[in-house]
Amino acid sequence: MNRQITKLHNIAAKPTRTIIGLMSGTSLDGLDIAVCRVTGSGKDTDVKVLRFQTMVYDQNFRELILRVFAKTEILHPDICGLNALIADRHASMVNQALSNWGMRPENVDLIASHGQTVFHAPVDSAQESGPYPNSTLQIGDGDHIAVRTGIITVSDFRQKHVAAGGEGAPLALYGDYLLFSDTAEDRILLNMGGIANFTYLPSRKSQQVGLQAFATDTGPANTLMNQYVQRHFGVEMDRDALLAAQGQVNERLLKALLDHSFFKLPLPKTTGPELFNMEFLQNAQKQSSSEGLDPHDVLATLCAFSGSSIAGAIRNIVEKLPGDKPLGVYASGGGFSNPLLMGHIKGKLGESDLAIQSFGVLGIEPDAKEAVLFAVLANETLAGNPEHVKSVQGAPAICMGKICFPV
Whether residue 204 contacts residue 183, with contact meaning beta carbons closer than 8 Å, is answered with yes
From residue 341, alpha-carbon distances to 308, 318, 337, 354, 367 in Å are 9, 20, 9, 16, 18
Q: Which of 227, 293, 216 is nearest to 256 (CA)?
A: 293
Does 120 score more than 70 pLDDT?
yes
Is the overall model pTM greater than 0.85, yes or no?
yes
Q: What is the dihedral of CA 251, 256, 262, 263, to 10 degrees?
A: 30
The one-letter amino acid at 227: Q
Cα 189 from Cα 330, distance rounded (Å): 5
Cα 10 from Cα 6, distance rounded (Å): 6
pLDDT tens, residue by residue, 14-69: 999 999 999 998 788 899 999 999 999 999 999 999 999 999 999 999 999 999 99
pLDDT computed for residue 126 by the predictor: 45
Please state, as a whole number, how many other Cβ atoms lie within 10 Å of the Cβ of residue 13.
10
Q: pLDDT tier at 208 (50, 70, 90 boundaries)?
A: low
Does 210 score more than 80 pLDDT?
no
Cα 32 from Cα 56, distance rounded (Å): 9
The one-letter amino acid at 78: D
Q: What is the dihedral of CA 158, 162, 167, 169, to 10 degrees?
A: -10
pLDDT computed for residue 115 by the predictor: 97
Mean pLDDT, the chain, rounded, equals 93
Domains, the chain, with CATH or none: 3-167+368-404 (3.30.420.40), 172-362 (3.30.420.40)
Element (H, E) at 223: helix 223-232
| Distant-in-sequence, close-in-space partners of 367: CB < 8 Å, separation ≥ 6 | 32, 52, 54, 332
